[in-house]
Each structure stands twice: as C-alpha cells, then as structure tokens.
Structure 1
Amino acid sequence: MFLTCHYFSKVLMHNTEINVVIPTPEGNEQITEAGPTQRYDYENGLPVVYLLHGAYGDNSSWVRFSNIERYAQAHNIIAVMASVENSLYQDMVHGNKYFTFISEELPSFITTLFPVSKKREDTYICGFSMGGYGAWFIGLSCPEKYGKIAGMSAAMDVAGLSDEVQKGNIEAPFPFHDIFEDPAHLAGSDKDIFELYRRDAEKGCVPELYQACGTKDFLYQMNEDANRRLTEMGAKITYSVTPDAMHNWDYWDSELPKILDWMMQK
C-alpha cells in the first residue's frame, strides 16, 4: 500500500507532504481471522524505517528513483519519507525546525495513525548523501529511539564539509549561516557525528551502525576517514564499500535491499 499524506505540522507551521509504504497481503493471501497474522502483525505493529532524502530532494525522491515499495513489501517493513529542503536535518537558526519535525513530531504522527511498532528495536533510520548525515545525526542524537542507523554516501563530517564549502572546494546548496549558529565551529559540537557517538558510547546507548559508500563517490574519502575515526573510538560498524560505485541512484537502489536485510536481522 502506497500513501501520500498531506497534513498540518505544528512544528513546521505549515502543511507538509509525506509518503508512507505499508506492506499488505498479496496474491492469494487474505486478511481474515485465520489469515496471515504471523507476517502481518498489524495489531502489535510492524517495523518502520524513516528514509531521509539528499540535497535538492524531497519526500518523493525515494519513490521516484528507487524500488522502495517492492523492497518494503518483501521485507515486511513500513517506510516513511518526508521533506526537509536543504536543511541538513537541523533545527535551523533562520528557518524550520526539521530536526524536531523528523525526530519527534513525525514519529508521533506515524505511530498514531499507522500500524507501526513503537519499540526501539523495530525503529530504524536511513539516508543517502545529506540524508546519510541526517540519519546518523538524528539517530545518534536520539539513540534511545532508534535500534539501527544506516547511511549511504553520507556527508559524515559536517565540520569538514562546512569548511570545504566555505573555501569553495565543494559546491553545495546548504545555507550554513541560516542552518547553524556558528558554522565555523561545528567540530566537537552536538552537530558533529563523532562527538555524538562519543557521548552515546559514554552513556552506553549506541544504535547498531551501517555505513556504505562507493569507491568513485566524491564523498568516498570522507567516508573512509570517518570509518577510521569511529573505529578508533571503538565503534562497531557494518561497512559496505562497493568498487566503482558512484554518488547516484544506481548505487543507492542496489544498496537499499542489503540495508533492509541488515535491519531485519534480529
């Protein structure tokens, strides 16, 4: 079942659009009293993955360019997709509060209206590029809410990204001075994945982690450096490197089923 929902967000203070995929019986399966209750446990709730889009994208990106509806059906998982503009998933200094929207309001809306499990171990977050950073940032900022985090071609080092953009070495659409109060000092802050991981590890509450990148991706070296730094900090990461893969949907669509396989492993 594929749904497009329009509703008023109190956090964003305007109407917003989300996409939701809910696995439903197919073929000769039926929903009856004696039906496929083991697979379709709507009463107790199905696992859910929040899928975050990249720069220039929106809630339709996953639907238009990946096979998420088929993958969600095959993995018996609910998928949720929303829009955050080019905000890097932050509560912007001059703009919308997208972190609060994604981490608080959206899950509350989804778990109230749809057959979604509220358990941490059934709640996952995944993204690519800007959304890869967003998934790690939100997941590590709220480790008590997410059992697993996955990022593909993720902008893992937001401090390094900010520096490179300010120097003109990387072209990116992020209005850093509208997003962050002090974009020149993101390293070691609560916007920094490495600092967030350190805090979570200190508290003893770290979600399971998945990192993926292609060797021809322009963010490959950033991902290699991030994996090394996090591993040195003691992080246990499932790290998937695909030779010759680039920063595009051919790669992300091929990696997504692997991530869903990993998420559904108990």
Structure 2
Amino acid sequence: MASMNCHYYSFSLMRSVDINVIIPTPESDEQITNEETKKAYHYETGLPVLYLLHGAFGDYSSWVRYSNIERYAQKHCVAVVMASAANSFYQDMYRGDAYFTFFTEELPAFIGSVFPISKKREDTFVAGLSMGGYGAWFMALSKPEQYAKAASLSGALDLAMTYEGTKQGDMKGPFFWEQIFENPELISGSDADLLTLYDRCEAAGTIPELYYACGTEDFVYEMNLSVKRGLEERGANAVYEEGPGGHTWDFWDTYIQKVLQWMLPV
C-alpha cells in the first residue's frame, strides 16, 4: 500500500495540519505469487474510504503507530484517512477550533480532490476509538446523508455521562468542557447527544448503519451497555460486540479488523 503523510493548510482550522492517508495498491503477495492478478483497484471510479478517528491524548499518527491498520486497509482495499482533533470530541468548539466542520466538510473535499476516493455515500465510512468512537457516531448521525456506516470502539458514547464523570473525578480526561461547549450542563438532549441525533435520523428516515464494541474490563463498558439499552428501546438495528479487554490497543487492533469486515466483507 501507499502510506502518505500530507501537510496542508486548513481554512476551517486556520493553520497547517498533518494527515495520514493510506491508499491500497497491488503489491506484496499479489505480485510475488502472481495468484491474485484478478484483484483490481478501480482508481478511476474511486476507492471506498474510511475516516479513522483517534481518542483523547492522541493525534493523526496514533492508528499507524499502534495498530496494523495499513495491513488491514490493504486486505479490504479501502483508503484510510486520519487527522487530528486534539481533545475536542470532534465538535465545532465554543471557544476553539471548528473540528466538526473540518472533518465533515473540508477534509473530505481535500481528500476527494487529491486521492482516488469515491464520493458516494455507500462508499464512505467513519470509525474511531474512545473519544473517536463518540466522534464517529456523532459525525454519521449528524450527517447521515454523508456516511453509510459508523463504528465505535470503546466509545465515550454518552457525552453527558462522560462530562459528569470527569466533573466528579470518577473519570479522567484532558477535556476543557467550557471551551468545547457553551454550557456543558446542557449536553443531554442537545445536538451533541447521540441518542437525540439517532431519534432525528429515524424521524427523517435516514439512519447510518452502526457498530460498537467494548471490552468487558473497560471503564466505559457500563456506559456502552447503557447506550445499548437506549438503542434497543428504540428498536435500532445496531451491531454490538464485546469481549475480554480494557481500554487498550490490543483490543482496538483486534476489533478494527471486525469493523472492516463488517464495513467491507471480503
């Protein structure tokens, strides 16, 4: 595969940014053994694309440094795009950067103009871990016309609960809530509340497919079960998986493979 680091100016963030982009290419076993010459990469029609989001404390390089995402992208013939969102929960911050606009508008426009990426909804996916798990669902449920599938791994899916947990000291996180939201006390039921967004998508008749997984030893496990109950009450068609593990790269590296199999079966 081709793995590239791009450095360019973002107008929505008003500064230069770094992104990592993985583009699958016929190579390795396909060339050496000559047994998979039937495999084609239709660059002219565009590759499916996965926007892959980091968690708190991370950045655009996290997935490449700590997982085998390059190998998995090659296997599933999918382009993967990774960019940084600081510790913003992928919001257009009240006092700070417009990360939601960057990730959902400017970044796709740049990627689509430079790389052989499909612009079709059915070929556009988003996934992430922890804070990025929330971000993936937040983007897809906010713009269901743009994303076909969204996946969360160990996601902080209940943002109001996350805020209360950090405020009470039960959870740790590098979040400056008053900079992200005008009033973080009002997150529940707002445009940042995932179940509220789901209800809007359901009313509009456009719901992206949802996947989520969490380790049974993870500190956000009970939160994921709470969201699971909320979705089940709504009759949501969301795929949930769990298994042994905590808030670790061992879990995320294993389950991103399940995510890709769910998004793009091979």
Gap regions ≥5 residues in structure 2: none
1:140 alignment partner in structure 2: 141
Deviation string 1:190-231 (CA, Å, 9 cap, x unpaired) is: 000000000000001001110100100000000001011011
Deviation string 1:48-79 (CA, Å, 9 cap, x unpaired) is: 00000000000000000000100000110000
1:236 alignment partner in structure 2: 237
2:8 partner SS: strand
Q: Is the 8 A contact 1:58 1:82 kept in 2?
A: yes
1:146 partner SS: coil
- Look up the equivalent residue of 1:217 and give its one-letter code: D
1:171 CA drift (Å): 1.4
1:29 CA drift (Å): 5.3
Q: Is the 8 A contact 2:58 2:86 kept in 1?
A: yes
1:226 partner SS: helix
1:58 partner SS: coil
CA distance in structure 2 between the aligned counterparts of 1:39 and 1:209, rounded to whole angstroms: 28
1:208 alignment partner in structure 2: 209
Q: TM-score, normalised by structure 2?
A: 0.95
CA distance in structure 2 between the aligned counterparts of 1:38 and 1:116, rounded to whole angstroms: 18
1:5 alignment partner in structure 2: 6
Which shows bigger deviation, 139-148 or 229-238?
229-238
2:231 partner SS: helix
1:113 alignment partner in structure 2: 114
2:241 partner SS: strand
1:173 alignment partner in structure 2: 174
CA distance in structure 2 between the aligned counterparts of 1:100 and 1:79, rounded to whole angstroms: 19
- Look up the equivalent residue of 1:248 and give its one-letter code: T
1:39 CA drift (Å): 2.3
- Look up the equivalent residue of 2:194 and give its one-letter code: I
CA distance in structure 2 between the aligned counterparts of 1:37 and 1:15, rounded to whole angstroms: 40
CA distance in structure 1 between the aligned counterparts of 2:123 and 2:182, rounded to whole angstroms: 34
- 1:252 equivalenced with 2:252 (yes/no): yes
- 1:65 equivalenced with 2:66 (yes/no): yes
Q: Is the 8 A contact 2:54 2:132 kept in 1?
A: yes
1:41 alignment partner in structure 2: 42
2:58 partner SS: coil
Q: Is the 8 A contact 1:39 1:76 kept in 2?
A: no
- Look up the equivalent residue of 1:191 and give its one-letter code: A
Gap regions ≥5 residues in structure 1: none
1:27 CA drift (Å): 3.9
Q: Is the 8 A contact 2:216 2:242 kept in 1?
A: yes
- Look up the equivalent residue of 1:249 and give its one-letter code: W
Name the count of aligned residue pairs: 261
1:172 CA drift (Å): 1.1
2:19 alignment partner in structure 1: 18
1:224 alignment partner in structure 2: 225
CA distance in structure 1 between the aligned counterparts of 2:28 and 2:67, rounded to whole angstroms: 23
1:4 CA drift (Å): 0.1
Q: Superposed, which structure 2 residues align to 1:179-194 within 5 Å?
A: 179-194=180-195
Structure 1 segments of 4+ aligned residues over 2 angstroms from their partners: 27-30, 35-39
CA distance in structure 1 between the aligned counterparts of 2:153 and 2:174, rounded to whole angstroms: 19
1:173 partner SS: coil
CA distance in structure 2 between the aligned counterparts of 1:241 and 1:6, rounded to whole angstroms: 37
Deviation string 1:135-164 (CA, Å, 9 cap, x unpaired) is: 011110000000000000000100111112
- Look up the equivalent residue of 1:190 and give its one-letter code: D
Q: What is the CA RMSD across the aligned residues, in angstroms? A: 1.5
CA distance in structure 1 between the aligned counterparts of 2:28 and 2:158, rounded to whole angstroms: 45
Deviation string 1:83-139 (CA, Å, 9 cap, x unpaired) is: 010001000011100000001100010011000011101000000000000001111
CA distance in structure 2 between the aligned counterparts of 1:176 and 1:231, rounded to whole angstroms: 29
1:38 CA drift (Å): 5.7
CA distance in structure 2 between the aligned counterparts of 1:228 and 1:27, rounded to whole angstroms: 44
Q: Share of identical aligned residues, percent?
A: 53
2:197 alignment partner in structure 1: 196
1:101 partner SS: helix
- Look up the equivalent residue of 1:246 and give its one-letter code: G
- Look up the equivalent residue of 1:259 and give its one-letter code: V
